[in-house]
Amino acid sequence: MSTSGAHGHATAPATLAAELRGKTGQNPAECYQCGKCSAGCPMAVETLLRPHDVMRLIGGDRRETLLEGESIWLCLTCEACTARCPNGCDPARMIDALREMSVARAPRAVGAFHRSFLDQVKANGRMFEFGLVLEYKLRSGKLLNDVFSTPGMISRGLLKFVPSPIKGVADVRRIFAACEREAARDLHASGADGRDQ
Amino acid sequence: MRIGYYPGCSLHATSREFDESLRATAVALDVELAEIDDWSCCGATSGHATSHLLSVALPARNLALAEEQGMQEVLAPCAACYNRLASASHSLREDAGLEIKIKEILARPFANTVRVRNVMELYRSLIPQITEKSAGRLKGMKVACYYGCLLVRPPGVLAFDDAEQPTSMDEICRATGATSVDWNLKVECCGGAFSLSRTASVIRLGRAILEDARKAGAEALIVACPMCHSNLDFRQSAMTQSGETPMPVLFLSELVGMGLGLSARDMGMKRHFVNTGPIEKRATETAAQVAAEAAAKAAKAAETAAKATAQAGTAPAGKGVA
C-alpha cells in the first residue's frame, strides 16, 4: 500500500518483513517469540503455522511458505493474538496483509467462501445469504452440505430467495473497482508480478 | 432518545429475530431507531481478509451516509458490522494517507464524525430503565454471557469494556433480575465465518463453549452476534451428545425483552433451532414468583400499615377517655 513506507522507493522492498512493515506500519521484528499469541489461538490445534510461527517466518523471509500455504487462510481474525501480545505486535493484521499479498499474486488463492461472499455484495450492495450459499456450493463442490437443514431455515422464515439490490449498488461497485485498481497498482509497484524494476 | 441504526445483512436474513427483538425492546424503552437509508454491506471477514482498502471503504460509505442523514451515533447490533465500522473509523483517524484515498473513492462529503455503538453500549446506558421496568422479573434465572471475539477486540479500537473480563453484558442481564454465572470462555472465538467453509472447526469450538457454560450452571447462553448465534444455535445439534439438555441461545435483546415482559412471539423467538419453549416457560415461572413475592410483601406492608393506623386510632381515643 502506498500510504506509508514503500512509497517513494524506486525498487521493491528487499525483504518480506520490510514489505509488511510498509503495508501495515507494524514492525514484525518486534516479536520475541514468547508464543503467548499461539497459546490463545483457537485454530492453533488445526493450523500448521501458528501466529508466532508466522511471525518467525516473516523474519526469516519465507515468502513462499507463507503465501502458498493454507495456514494464513485458517486464521479466524478473532484477534486474541493481537489483544494479548506483550510487545504490542499485531499478528492478525500481519496475516490479513499476507492474505492480501497472496490474493494479489494469485486471485484464486481466495477461498470459495470469500469469493462468493464478495460477489454477492458486488451484485446487490448487500450480502444475499441464499445466493451466497448457492454460489459457495457450486464453487466448492460441497453440494450436499447442510441440504437437510434448508427446510428448517425456510419454515423459520430465515431465507429470502430473491435478492433486493440497494439503490446505490453502482456506488458499491465503484468502490470495488477502485480497490481492485489500487491493488493492481500496488502489485505492479512492488514488482511481485514478475516485472523487473 | 433517537439513534442511527445500521442493521447489517444478517439482521435482514438469518438473524431476523435479533432485529425484531431489538426493535421491540427499543419501543418499550423509548428509543427511536432511525435506519440509515440505503446502507450497504460492511464487507465483514471476506472484505478484510482480501483487501485492507476495501475493508475500510465499504464501512466508510455507510458512515458517510449516516453523516449525510444527520446522525451523530449509529447503533450496529451485529458484532461483525460493529467491529468493521468502528475499526474503519479508527483507521481513518490514524492514517491520513488512507483518509485521502477513501475520500477519493467515496466521492461524497465525509468527515468521519459518526460514533459507532454496539448493542451492549445502548442497553448499558438504559440500565436504570431496564431495572425499573423489569422489576426483577427474571430473578433466579442463570445465564452465561458470551461476548466472543468481535465485540471486545482489538482493545485499542473497541475500548468500551475490558477485553479479557468484560462485564457490560453481565450488568445488563442482572438488570432483568437474572444471575450471570462466572465461566471461562466468555471471550473465546466460536469459529465465526467458518460456519460453511470449515464446519468441523466450528463444531469443535462451539462444543467447548456449550460444555463450559453448562458446567457453570447456565440455563441459557446470551450472545450479541449473529455469527455466534447461528454457530451455537443452528449447529448445536452437532455439538451435543444424546442425553444432554439443549442450551437455548438467546440474543441479549431477547433476554432484555423477556425481562421487560415482551412476548416471545413479538421477538421472533420461534425462529431459533434450539427450542426456546423451556426458557420461556422458566421466565413465566420466575415472573409469577416475583409477582407473588411482591404481592405478599405489599399485603404484609398493608397489614402493618393498617395495624399502625388502628393503633394510632385507638391510642389517642384511649387517651381522650382517660
Instruction: Answer whether A168 sits within 8 Å of B163, measured CB to CB.
Output: no
Task: Please report the beta strands in B2-117, taking only residues with DSSP state E, as ranges in sequence order.
Answer: 2-5, 32-35, 73-75, 115-117
Partners of residue A111 in chain B, C-beta under 8 Å: 197
Q: State the DSSP code for B189.
A: -
Quote the pLDDT of residue B242.
81
Residues in chain B: 322
Q: Round to whole Å and give the CA distance between A193 and B185.
A: 44
Provide the pLDDT confidence category of residue A164 given band limits of 50, 70 and 90. Answer: confident
- Nearest one of A132, A114, A115 to A77, comparing CA atoms: A114
Give B105→chain A minimum CA distance, Å: 6
Contact B278, B220 (CB under 8 A): no
Partners of residue B45 in chain A, C-beta under 8 Å: 77, 114, 117
Quote the pLDDT of residue A193.
47
Give A55→chain B minimum CA distance, Å: 17
Instruction: Answer whether A178 sits within 8 Å of B191, measured CB to CB.
Output: no
Q: Round to whole Å and give the CA distance between A87 and A34.
A: 10
Q: What DSSP string runs through B127-154?
A: HHHHHHHHTTTTTT-EEEE--TTTTT-S
Partners of residue A181 in chain B, C-beta under 8 Å: none
By the 10 Å C-beta count (0-12 exposed, 13-18 middle, 19+ buried), B149 is classed as buried
Quote the pLDDT of residue A4.
46
Give A91→chain B minimum CA distance, Å: 12
Over residues A20-61, the pLDDT tens digits come to 999 999 999 999 999 999 999 999 999 999 999 999 999 999
Q: Round to whole Å and give the CA distance between A109 and A101.
A: 10
Instruction: Answer whether B51 sits within 8 Å of A183, measured CB to CB.
Output: yes
Q: Report yes or no: A87 at the B interface, CB cutoff 8 Å.
A: no
Q: Round to whole Å and give the CA distance between B196 and A129.
A: 11
Q: What are the sequence ranges of the domains in chain B?
A: 2-119, 134-286
Nearest by CB to A167, from B38, B45, B152: name it: B38
Quote the pLDDT of residue A191.
60
Quick one: closest CA in A to B8, which residue?
A126
Q: Round to whole Å and give the CA distance between B90 and A26.
A: 16
Contact A34, A86 (CB under 8 A): yes
3-state secondary structure of A114: helix
Over residues A126-153, the pLDDT tens digits come to 988 788 888 888 888 777 677 667 778 8
Q: Report yes or no: A175 at the B interface, CB cutoff 8 Å.
A: yes
Q: Round to whole Å and give the CA distance between B191 and B202.
A: 5
Quote the pLDDT of residue B195.
85
Q: Round to whole Å and give the CA distance between B167 and B252.
A: 13
Nearest by CB to B46, from A114, A145, A167: name it: A114
Instruction: State the cell numbers at B127.
Output: 440500565
Contact A111, A102 (CB under 8 A): no
Residue pairs between chains A and B whose CB atoms are closer than 8 Å: 164
Q: Round to whole Å and give the CA distance between B177 and B174.
A: 5
Q: Report yes or no: A174 at the B interface, CB cutoff 8 Å.
A: yes
Does pLDDT of A183 surpass 50?
A: yes
Give A52→chain B minimum CA distance, Å: 18
Q: Round to whole Å and give the CA distance between B206 and B222.
A: 14
Mutate to test the interface with A, among B17, B37, B53, B152 (most CBs of A within 10 A): B53
- CATH T-level topology, domain B134-286: Rossmann fold (3.40.50)
Quote the pLDDT of residue B311.
86
Q: Report yes or no: A109 at the B interface, CB cutoff 8 Å.
A: no
Measure the CA dihedral A140/A156/A76/A186, to 10°.
60
- CATH T-level topology, domain B2-119: Glutathione S-transferase Yfyf (Class Pi); Chain A, domain 2 (1.20.1050)
Residues 5-64 of A with CB under 8 A from B: 23, 25, 42-43, 46
Give B205→chain A minimum CA distance, Å: 7
Q: What DSSP string runs through A66-84?
A: HHHSSGGGG-----HHHHH
pLDDT per residue as tens, chain B (322 positions) = 899 999 999 998 889 999 999 999 999 999 999 999 999 999 998 888 889 999 999 999 999 999 999 999 999 999 999 999 999 999 999 999 999 999 999 999 999 999 999 999 999 999 999 999 999 999 999 999 999 999 999 888 888 899 999 999 999 999 999 999 999 999 999 998 888 889 999 999 999 999 999 999 999 999 999 999 999 999 999 998 888 899 999 999 999 999 999 999 999 999 999 999 999 999 999 999 999 999 999 999 999 999 998 888 766 554 544 4
Return all residues near B248 (Cβ < 8 A) that are at least 6 apart. Answer: B219, B220, B221, B272, B274, B275, B276, B278, B279
Question: Where do the domains of chain A lie, and which CATH numbers do they carry?
Answer: 16-106 (1.10.1060.10), 112-166 (no CATH)
Partners of residue B234 in chain A, C-beta under 8 Å: 149
Quote the pLDDT of residue A148.
64
The predicted complex's ipTM stands at 0.86
Q: Round to whole Å and give the CA distance between A171 and A178.
A: 11
Give residue for cell 515468502: A63
Quick one: closest CA in A to B273, which residue?
A152
Give B192→chain A minimum CA distance, Å: 7
Nearest by CB to A113, from B101, B154, B197: name it: B197
Instruction: Answer whether A159 sits within 8 Å of B61, measured CB to CB.
Output: no
Instruction: Answer whether B149 sits within 8 Å of A99, measured CB to CB.
Output: no
Does pLDDT of A192 surpass 50?
A: yes
